Structure 1
Amino acid sequence: MPELSPYEIHAVRYAHNPLAVRRDNFLDADGHDASPMPMDYFVWAIRGNGRTFIVDTGFDAAMALKRNRQLLRSPGEGLKCIGIDPDHVEDVIISHMHYDHAGNHDLFPRARYHVQDTEMAYCTGRCMCHAPLRIPFEKDDVLAMVRKVFEGRVVFHDGDRELAPGITVHRLGGHSKGLQVVRVWTRRGWTVIASDASHFYANMEQGRPYHLLHSVEDTLEGYRALYELASDPANVIPGHDPLVAVRYPASAAGLEGIVVRLDADPCK
């Protein structure tokens, strides 16, 4: 895409779960394997060509307490570290409606939210009658999104869609029924923000899904799709792997481990 200037992608690390263990992170894990495998939580910022898109909205301090997670900083604070004022953001892409991706309901007061039809139907439909399927969702997050629908602030997508030249969304499902990933043109070619299509590098590299999912089949097929969407396998960015903050350089001096630049060359 030579006529289009490449976008920047920044990953804002806002929370951490130091208590996660290996058996939590693989569907086929040994149930006795309690070796540490901690988890990070990110939101992502795409910036360039006169546009800013935020991918996911994270959770707040109250949710961190409820879910026993460490909130390192609010996503809004992290974004301000790279000069993005949440009050001025106009586009937010919600990868899926799980609590750690769709909270902070009032953080982006001017934004329109890009959501898959399938995901909203899933989190407001009959499947939520089943307690096990409700576990990763929060009622208040879902209700807040429904309110945004009635305020005219939600843009629905049915499958793949171009949001701007060089930015597309692709519905993969798997982890959640309507999960979508974001493909971005960068100076390293096509880069894919996988969100929870793969929590860790190891999930997609080893073909071993995370334990919490809607469809094993869609998850496994999703790994293939992620690699096909990216210019290089290294350009697929998982949603929760602490290695992301290690492999990529800080977006600015002093932001090491806080905000990292995903369109930059990985650290050697």
Structure 2
Amino acid sequence: MPALLLIAHGSRDPRHAATVAALVDGVRAQRPGLEVATAYLDHCAPRIPQVVGRLDDAVAVPLLLNRAYHAKHDVPAALRAAGSRLPVADVLGPSPLLLAALDRRLAEAGPDLASPAVRARTGVVLAAAGSSDPAADAATRAVAAEWRRSRGWAAVEVAYASAGGPRVPDALTALRAAGVARTAVSPYLLAPGLLPDRIAEASTGTSGATGADVVAGVLGPAPELATLLLERYDAARRAAPTAPALTA
């Protein structure tokens, strides 16, 4: 069976690598016997060239939510530079498992949000990193729309921690103007770091704006993410004789 090579972005914040390691542990727990290796695009070790050379057979699975620049260009380019022709799985989003992970994190921060009646009075900010790729931002907005439709939130607004707006305070203001009784912020991010910290600061009102009633944590090593990584691995492994899921 091919190994699963998890390709993460990397960060100077040590919490990032710790979160990736915890997620890898979750993948291994769900599928004992599967070899799982990790490589990073930047900031952390090991890098892709250090890992691919020791794998006889593997499927690369990007730890990325959207098909933005990293997925379209950085991952394929890094694999080519390492002399690798590994099949590459699709990115994580969109998926119902991501919505379930978002639900999990919000329920941990506000247990009553598991109630349909409470959700119907609650507006949520889906706070993403942001991208210069319009298709990636459109994909995030589609996730927000599906999350509202399938889970019964009063409203879901998208905000970004980088690139163009709106920012979290803007989205919270829009929710309150729409008349929601309660507000929540849910980071659409995989691991702690600079952007999640920026979202948390904007969400709690420490930046001077009125904060949200509930602020969830990042997706992190949620079991739904481990399941989703294995789904992407399996799909790419089945498709490997024809073509990789990501190309340059």
- Identify the TM-score tier after normalising by the shorter chain: 0.3 to 0.5
Larger relative contact order, structure 1 or 2 (CA cutoff 8 Å, min sep 6):
2
Larger radius of gyration: 2
TM-score normalised to structure 1 length: 0.31
Give 1 or 2: higher helix fraction.
Answer: 2
